[in-house]
Structure 1
Amino acid sequence: MPPPILHLLLLLCFLPGGKGAETELQILLHLKTSLGINTTTPGFESWSSDHSPCNYSGILCDSRNSVTEINLNRRGIYGKIPFQSVCQLHSLSKLDFGSNNITGELTADIRNCTKLQHLDLASNTLTGTVPDLSPLASLRVLNLSENGFSGKFPWDSLGNLTGLVALSLGDNGLLDPSPFPESVKNLTNLSLLYLSVVNLQGEIPPWIGDLTALVDLEFADNSISGGIPPEISKLRNLNQLEIYNNLLTGGIPAGFGNLSNLANFDASQNRLNGSLSELRFLTKLISLQLFMNGFSGQVPPEFGEFRELVNLSLYSNELSGELPEKLGSWAEFNFIDVSTNFFTGRIPPDMCRQGKMDKLLMLENKFSGEIPASYENCKSLTRFRVNNNSLSGTVPAGIWSLPKVNIIDLTLNKFEGQIGAGIGEARSLHQLFIANNLFTGEIPPEIAGASSLVSIDVSFNQFSGSIPAGIGGLNQLSTINLEQNSLSGPIPDSLGGCVSLSSVNLGKNSLSGPIPASLGQLPSLNSLDLSNNKLSGRVPASIASLKLSSLDLSNNQLEGEVPVAISIPAFNDSFVGNPLLCGYDVDFLRQCSSEPGRSSSNLHTLLVCLLVACSILLVSLALITICKKRRSYGSDLPKLSWDLKSFRKLTVGVDEHKIIDSIKEENLIGKGGSGNVYRASLGNGLVVAVKHIPLQPDPEERGTAAMLGEKRISGAREFDAEVGTLSAIRHVNVVKLYCSVTCEHSSLLVYEYLPNGSLWDRLHTSAGEKLGLDWEARVHIALGAARGLEYLHHGCDRPILHRDVKSSNILLDEEFKPRIADFGLAKILRSGGGRDSSSHVVAGTYGYIAPEYAYTWKVNEKSDVYSFGVVLMELVTGKRPIEPMYGESKDIVHWVTEELGSVASVVELVDKKIPEWAKDEALKVLRIAVLCTVKLPAMRPSMRTVVHLLEEVAVACWASYNPA
Structure 2
Amino acid sequence: MSTASFSLLLCFLCFFSSLNSQSDELQVLLNVKTAFQKSNTNVFNSWVSSNSICNFAGITCNSGNSVTEIELSYQNLVGVVPLDSICKLPSLEKLSLGFNSLSGSISDDLNKCTNLRYLDLGNNLFSGHFPEFSSLSQLQHLFLNLTGLSGVFPWKSLENITGLVTLSLGDNPFYPTPFPLEIVKLTKLNWLYLSNCSIGGTIPQDIGNLSELINLELSDNNMSGEIPSQIGLLKNLWQLELYKNSLTGKLPVEIGNLTKLEKFDASMNYLEGGLSELRFLTNLVTLQLFENELSGEIPMEFGQFKKLVNLSLYGNKLTGPLPPQLGSWANFIFIDVSENYLTGPIPPDMCKQGTMEALLMLQNNFTGEIPASYASCTTLKRFRVSKNSLSGTVPAGIWGLPIMNIIDIEFNQFEGPVTSDIRNAKALGQLFLGYNRLSGELPGEISGATSLVSIKLNDNQFSGKIPETIGELKHLSSLHLENNMFSGSIPESLGSCDSLSDLNIAHNLLSGEIPSSIGSLPTLNSLNLSENQLSGQIPDTLSSLSLSLLDLTHNRLTGRIPQSLSIEAYNGSFAGNSGLCSQTVSTFQLCKPEAGMSKDVRTLIACFGVGAAILVLSLVYFLYLKKKEKDHERSLKEESWDVKSFHVLGFGEDEILDSIKEENLIGKGGSGNVYKVALANGKELAVKHILNTDSCGRNKSWSTTPMLARRGGKSKEFDAEVHTLSSTRHVNVVKLYCSITSEDSSLLVYEYMPNGSLWDRLHTSTKMELEWETRYEIALGAAKGLEYLHHGCDRPIIHRDVKSSNILLDEFLKPRIADFGLAKIVQANGGKDSTHVIAGTHGYIAPEYGYTYKVSEKSDVYSFGVVLMELVSGKRPIEPEFGDNKDIVDWVSSNLKSKERVLSIVDSRIPEFFKEDVVKVLRIAILCTERLPSLRPTMRSVVQMLREAEPCKLAGIVISKDGASKKKEVTDKGKFSPGV
Shift of 1:792: 3.5
- 2:34 corresponding residue in structure 1: 33
Kept after mapping to 2: 8 A contact 1:722/1:822? no
Distance in 2, matches of 1:901 and 1:958, equals 23
Change (3 A) 1:788 1:90: same
Instruction: Say whether 1:240 aligns with 2:236.
Output: no
Other structure's SS at 2:541 match: helix
Partner of 1:507: 506
CA distance in 2, matches of 1:240, 1:149: 26
Question: In structure 2, what residue type is equivalent to 1:452?
Answer: S
Equivalent residues in 2 for 1:270-349, closer than 5 Å? 270-349=269-348
1:689–1:752 contact (8 Å) kept in structure 2: no
CA distance in 1, matches of 2:797, 2:94: 37
- AA at the equivalent of 1:36: Q
**Which letter does structure 2 place at the counterpart of 1:101?**
S
- Deviation string, structure 1 residues 697-728 (Cα, Å, up to 9, x no partner): xxxxxxxxxxxxxxxx9985999985674353
Deviations 1:195-224 (A, max 9, x none): 000011111111111111110000100111
**Distance verdict in 2 for CA 1:308–1:7, change over 3 Å:** farther
Counterpart for residue 726 of structure 1: 721
Q: Which residue in the other structure is 1:144 paired with?
A: 144
Which residue does 1:861 correspond to in 2?
A: 857
| Structure 1: distance between partners of 2:406 and 2:20 | 69
- Listed one character per residue, the Cα deviations across residues 633-688 of structure 1 (whole Å, up to 9, x for unaligned) are xxxxxxxxxxx999989999999xx99x999xxx9979x8xx79987789999976
**DSSP-derived class of the 1:891 partner:** helix
* Aligned equivalents of 1:945, 1:504: Cα separation in 2: 40
Report the equivalent of 1:12.
Answer: 15
Q: Is the 8 A contact 1:690 1:750 kept in 2?
A: no
Closer, same or farther in 2 for the Cα pair 1:739/1:295, shift >3 Å? farther
Please state whether the residue corresponding to 1:729 is helix, strand or coil.
Answer: helix
Q: Which residue of 1 aligns with 2:42?
A: 42
C-alpha contact 2:721 2:819 (8 A) present in aligned 1: no
C-alpha separation in 1, matches of 2:217 and 2:689:
53
SS of aligned partner of 1:128: coil
Kindly provide the amino acid, as one letter, of the partner of residue 445 in structure 1: G
Superposed CA offset, 1:870-919 (max 9, x none):
6467668978889999x99763998899799999xxx99995599xxxx9
Q: Secondary structure at the residue paired with 1:472?
A: helix
| CA distance in 2: counterparts of 1:160 and 1:822, whole angstroms | 53
- Alpha-carbon distance between aligned partners in 2 of 1:851 and 1:158, rounded to the nearest angstrom: 46
TM-score, reference length from structure 2:
0.79
1:374 Cα offset (Å): 1.0
State how 1:410-489 maps to structure 2 within 5 Å: 410-489=409-488
Give the C-alpha shift of residue 384 in structure 1.
0.9
Gaps of 5+ in 2: 632-639, 646-651, 692-705, 883-887, 957-980
Q: Indicate the residue corresponding to 1:70 in structure 2.
A: 70
The CA deviation string for residues 27-78 of structure 1, in whole angstroms up to 9 with x for no partner, is 000001101179x942333211111111111111111111111111212222
SS in 2 for 1:590: coil
Q: Deviations over 1:550-605 (max 9, x none)?
A: 111111111222222222212111100111222222334433258999989x989x
For the Cα contact (< 8 Å) 1:315–1:339, is it kept in 2?
A: yes
Residue 820 of structure 1: how far off its partner (Å): 3.1
- Rounded Cα–Cα distance in structure 1 between residues aligned with 2:337 and 2:918: 37
Look up the equivalent residue of 2:757 and give its one-letter code: S
Which amino acid in 2 is paired with 1:123?
Answer: N
Alignment of 1:492-571 (within 5 A): 492-571=491-570
Mapped contact 2:165–2:191 kept (Cα < 8 A): yes
Mapped to 1, the partners of 2:169 and 2:212 lie a distance apart of 18
Gap change, CA 1:938 and 1:346, over 3 Å in 2: closer
Give the direction of change, closer, same or farther, for the CA distance of 1:402–1:938 in structure 2 (3 Å limit): closer
Moved more, 560-569 or 361-370: 560-569
Distance 2:500 2:641 in 1: 32
Shift of 1:841: 8.4
Q: Secondary structure at the match of 1:523?
A: coil
Please tell me the root mean square deviation across aligned C-alpha atoms, in Å.
Answer: 5.2
Q: 1:495 to 1:908 in 2, by over 3 A?
A: closer
SS class of match (2:43): coil
Q: Who is 1:122 aligned against? A: 122
SS at match of 2:46: coil
Match of 1:359 in 2: 358
Aligned counterparts of 2:305 and 2:853: Cα–Cα separation in 1: 31
| Cα distance change, pair 850–489 in 1 and its aligned pair in 2 (3 A) | closer
SS at match of 2:761: helix
| 2:111 is the alignment partner of 1:111 | yes
Structure 1 contact 431–453 (Cα < 8 Å) conserved:
yes
1:809 paired residue number: 806
Contact 2:436/2:460, CA 8 A, preserved across alignment: yes
- Give the paired residue count: 893
Which amino acid in 2 is paired with 1:192?
W
Q: 1:547 to 1:726 in 2, by over 3 A?
A: farther
TM-score, normalised with respect to structure 1: 0.80
* Unmatched 5+ stretches in structure 1: 633-643, 693-712
Distance 1:459-1:252 versus aligned 2 partners, 3 A rule: same
Deviations, residues 452-475 of structure 1 (Å, cap 9, x unaligned):
111111111111121112211211
Contact 1:428 1:452 in 2 (8 A): yes
Q: CA deviation at 1:83?
A: 0.6
| SS of residue matched to 1:159 | helix
Identify which range, 455-464 or 303-312, moves more after superposition: 455-464
Query: Residues 840-882 of structure 1, C-alpha deviation per residue, up to 9 Å, x if partnerless?
Result: 9897666x78899999999742453465466467668978889
Correspondence for 1:205: 204
Instruction: Tell me what 1:709 maps to.
Output: none
Inter-CA distance 100–230: structure 2 relative to 1 (3 Å threshold): same
Q: Which amino acid aligns with 1:411?
A: E
Q: Secondary structure in 1 aligned to 2:767?
A: helix
The one-letter code of the counterpart of 1:90 is: P
Q: For residue 639 of structure 1, what is the aligned residue in structure 2? A: none
- Kindly report which structure 2 residues correspond to 1:828-867, keeping only aligned pairs within 5 A, or say none: 829=826, 832=829, 834=831, 860-865=856-861, 867=863
Aligned residue in 2 for 1:793? 790
Q: Which residue of 2 aligns with 1:181?
A: 180
1:350 corresponds in structure 2 to 349
Structure 1 residue 157 displacement after superposition? 1.4
Cα 1:535/1:757, change in 2 over 3 Å:
farther
Q: Structure 2 CA distance, aligned partners of 1:645 and 1:342?
A: 73
Q: 1:88-130, CA deviations, whole angstroms, 9 ceiling, x for partnerless residues?
A: 1111111111111111111111111111111011111111101
Shift of the 896–835 alpha-carbon distance from structure 1 to 2, 3 Å rule, reads farther
SS of the equivalent of 1:520 reads helix
SS in 1 for 2:723: coil
Instruction: Please report how far the alpha carbon of residue 757 of structure 1 lies from its aligned counterpart in structure 2 after TM superposition.
Output: 2.9
- Higher mean displacement: 529-538 or 791-800: 791-800
Change (3 A) 1:180 1:390: same
1:83 and 2:80 are equivalent in the alignment: no
Structure 2 counterpart SS, 1:151: coil
Provide the rounded CA distance (Å) in 2 between the counterparts of 1:153 and 1:376.
55
Paired amino acid for 1:359? A
CA distance in 1, matches of 2:897, 2:846: 15
Q: Do the aligned residues in 2 keep the contact of 1:466 with 1:490 (CA within 8 Å)?
A: yes
Aligned residues of 1:507 and 1:533 also touching (Cα < 8 A):
yes
Which position in structure 1 is the counterpart of 2:22? 21
SS at match of 2:510: strand
What amino acid is the match of 1:9? F
Separation of aligned partners in 2, 1:236 and 1:229: 14
- The 2-side partners of 1:489 and 1:13 are apart by 100
Q: Distance in 2 between the 1:458 and 1:734 partners?
A: 48
Measure the CA separation in 2 of the matches of 1:580 and 1:255: 77
Relative distance call for 1:421 and 1:165 in structure 2 (3 A) is same
Write the mapping of 1:648-727 to structure 2, written as runs, cut at 5 A.
725-726=720-721
